[in-house]
Chains A and B, each alone.
Chain A
């Protein structure tokens, strides 16, 4: 090991530059892929960024004003119920990694838990709208989660977690996160987690449509759904908030003019006409259509060349066929949508 790392930078310089917590995270990251140690200074940057992420998320909580008496919104109650399960499940997973000495994997699990689930989803769900206060029950639950996350992360990044842990609640002199006892086994609801994942997919799909169709996040859109067994209306409050929906309506027929997507088996539609300028949209699609038709022509010419098909490696030919299929599907979808808009 010492030999493989012989030409690495001076560890103390790295600590001075990125902080010990950041360097520790980097060391865990560089061993996570398997046995080979591939140390790269950019990992230290990633480590320090993670410290910053935690720091800034914590500071965000501090910027929210609290109204103890305010009622807890449904979406916050659901979010709390969900994150409790996420956290308990991740804790079990981390314990499992530790049991098998997969220490880098344990850290990666804690890293993703904080970065994706907590910061990317949970905080967004409970975040009060700009200028309004957060209710007492939600902020208390959020701080409790934060504290548990700090405790999970402490062995990997002892300093930043101690600093925030000391700040998040009143502590007596001589207390330390070092002795905050860790829960071993806590219950979690697999069924709820699976259902919630579908709700998250719906949110992602709507966000994709917004990006493609240039619909700003501030502007509300409607969502239609053909309900089936994979549709769980219990999470609509969360989906509505996260995707900024005006309403979620159950329908029985496909909406041909809407942007459609499927999550597992459930079909969803975002009606677009209200949000778009038909003429502009048709003009945009006509241009797009011309591009794909030209592209398809090129691909077909290649595939029409017998020498190419006979001599090129099978994978290359197959790649061209895939391009053909994709282009044909795009063209069909564009034509269908233009026809629907123009009617």
Chain B
């Protein structure tokens, strides 16, 4: 073979990649050799290659090529993530540009658009990885929402529900008014924001006295159910036990409650209590049996519960209400204030704490073996520095809000019965059977059941990835899962250790009884 005089990467790179593909040199099958397995951190299906992907995938390719040259049976499984919220947001934006609102479409119509978008843009990133020379076993390419992976997710949901780990409940969630869905705590990014402290005047009923209450969100007075002071605060010692105050502008009479939760040193020592829109207030509300008044529509505009400012955006309302308070002499003063405000990782809008009915996964038991595995070096972190962060997070783990008010994703396999209650099942036929048994009504048909509208958090499918790519959820005893699992190295960014790595470890112990990988390599911090 004649060698060109000048080095020309354009000529040789495509030639050899084609040669490798033609001879199926990246393909792996179980055999007598020792396996060496890497599962790719699946990029968003409609994403584009950026330098971070380049680095991580180059490292994975270096490891896999080296393993192959050491005589190991190297298998690098590629794939993509359906990226529920990110993809849905892109499809909504694309439809909007074409003059179509999501709200004008049925679920089926919207999903048809989404699949079309996925077929058109999906997998570009995998083609880009070929340019880089990535020696993935392309014949094994998976998608977190393909049939095999979806069946696995549903099976896992049902399994966890039957084990009593999944429950439904009204909780304060992080609401994204732009995507109009709940988010997990990890999807909220806190940033310092410049705001104001508004000192509002609450008149004490039957007296000339007022309580001055400081708040950063005056628009939420529409949802006030009480004012709370510390019982040890001498400033309020003379207030009668049953004192009530009038919420400014709204005119609602609410009780003054006393709880040591209020910090005497902070502000005026008097706190407005809005159980529907603040996590701490919600807890006070639960404790004192206060009314919960949700004042927002799902898109962050004011609803018609109170009859004031109806339809106005929350930030616009804040401005208008400031003027109205001023005009009525109910605004004592304002002060500049810097506070931490949570923003949606995906859409960038300010999160609204909101009470809603969601599905939760109880995490405490799942976290135990996963914490031990890392602490006892059964799974090694490279570098080790993330070990302690990991432990801290795992020891303070909260239940995982797994439902999302979206359409692009795995629909929650719960069906509501006409006379109340619900059943959880792997498919409609099974659901009907369970529903008939539960209701005692053998005449029930599928048409009588209503499936939950929500989908599952994307991480609820990607946490199964090292198992699901080998079909180990549906067929736990198949030869491939037995051969390739546990995988060897996971190469990923430290920013998703909790979103993804920790949850994969939990899933690994829950459904395989062992670690999903030996090493977690996070090259860049």
Using a CB–CB cutoff of 8 Å, the interface residues on chain A facing chain B are 1-6, 8-9, 11-12, 15-16, 18-24, 27-28, 31, 35-37, 39, 48, 51-52, 55-56, 58-59, 62, 98, 100-101, 103, 107, 151, 154-156, 158-160, 162-164, 166-167, 174, 176, 178-182, 184
Contact = CB atoms under 8 A, between A and B. Distances in A.
Interface of B: 1, 3, 5-7, 9-10, 12-13, 15-17, 19-20, 23, 25, 49-56, 58-59, 61-63, 65-66, 68-71, 128, 131-133, 135, 382-383, 493-495, 519, 521, 523-525
A27 B50 contact: no
Given A2-B53, A19-B13, 15 more contacts: A1-B52, A4-B524, A24-B61, A35-B525, A37-B55, A55-B6, A103-B523, A159-B9, A166-B1, A167-B1, A174-B23, A176-B20, A178-B25, A178-B65, A180-B69
B7 A182 contact: no
A159 B61 CA distance: 13
A343 B514 CA distance: 86
Given A37-B55, A158-B65, A31 B133 contact: no
Contacts of A48: 9
A12 B128 contact: yes
16 contacts: A2-B52, A5-B52, A11-B54, A11-B128, A21-B133, A24-B58, A28-B62, A103-B59, A107-B62, A158-B16, A159-B12, A160-B9, A176-B20, A176-B25, A178-B69, A178-B135
Nearest to B69: A182
B498 to A, nearest CB: 15
Contacts of A162: 12, 16, 19
Given A19-B13, A58-B3, A159 B133 contact: yes
A265 B66 CA distance: 43
Given A103-B62, A160-B9, A160-B12, A184 B70 contact: yes
Contact of B10 (A12, A16, A23): A16
Contacts of B135: 158, 178
Contacts, number: 150
Contacts of B519: 101
Contact of B61 (A155, A176, A179, A182): A155
Nearest to B380: A101
Contacts of B383: 35
A138 to B, nearest CB: 21
A182 B56 contact: no
Contacts of A156: 62
A35 B521 CA distance: 12
Contacts of A22: 9
A20 B50 contact: no
Nearest to B68: A178
A52 to B, nearest CB: 5
Contacts of B493: 1-2
Contacts of A167: 1, 3
Interface of A is mostly: helix
- Please provide the 9 A-B residue pairs with the shortest distance between their CB atoms, ordered closest to farther: A19-B9, A2-B52, A5-B51, A55-B7, A155-B65, A8-B51, A1-B52, A155-B62, A1-B493
Nearest to A171: B1
Nearest to A16: B10
Contacts of A103: 59, 62-63, 523
A158 B55 contact: no
B406 to A, nearest CB: 22
Contacts of B495: 1-3
A151 B50 contact: no
A27 B55 contact: yes
Contacts of B66: 98, 155, 182
B12 A163 contact: yes
A23 B523 contact: no
A37 B70 CA distance: 29
Residue with the highest number of chain B CB atoms closer than 10 Å, among A12, A23, A160, A163: A163
A12 B69 CA distance: 28
Contacts of B50: 2, 5-6, 8, 11
Given A59-B3, A160-B7, A11 B133 contact: no
Contact of A52 (B1, B3, B7, B58): B7
B16 A31 contact: no
Contacts of B3: 58-59, 62, 163-164, 167
A27 B54 contact: yes
A100 B62 CA distance: 14
Nearest to B494: A1
Residue with the highest number of chain B CB atoms closer than 10 Å, among A8, A18, A19, A158: A158
Contacts of B132: 11, 15, 20, 23-24
B213 to A, nearest CB: 39
A170 to B, nearest CB: 10
A36 B524 CA distance: 7
A20 B9 CA distance: 7
B260 to A, nearest CB: 41
A107 B55 CA distance: 14
Residue with the highest number of chain B CB atoms closer than 10 Å, among A98, A162, A164: A162
Nearest to A164: B3
Contacts of B20: 176, 178
Nearest to B26: A178
A152 to B, nearest CB: 9
A59 B131 contact: no
Given A160-B9, A160-B12, A20 B71 contact: no
Contacts of A27: 51, 54-55, 58
Contacts of A51: 7, 9
A6 B495 CA distance: 14
B501 to A, nearest CB: 14
Contacts of A179: 25, 68-69
Contacts of A166: 1
Contacts of B51: 5, 8-9, 11, 27, 39
Nearest to B127: A12
Contacts of A184: 70
A19 B16 CA distance: 13
Contacts of A4: 52, 524
Contacts of A107: 62
A263 B228 CA distance: 84
A12 B12 contact: no
Residue with the highest number of chain B CB atoms closer than 10 Å, among A16, A28, A155: A155
A15 to B, nearest CB: 5
Contacts of B70: 181-182, 184
A23 B12 contact: no
A178 to B, nearest CB: 6
Nearest to A39: B51
Contacts of A151: 69
B9 A37 contact: no
A176 B22 CA distance: 12
Contacts of B133: 20-21, 24, 158-159
Residue with the highest number of chain A CB atoms closer than 10 Å, among B9, B13, B132: B9
Contacts of A6: 50
Contacts of A24: 58, 61, 132-133
A181 B69 CA distance: 5
B16 A12 contact: no
Contacts of A23: 54, 132
Contacts of A59: 3, 5
Contacts of B58: 24, 27-28
A113 B128 CA distance: 31
Nearest to B521: A101
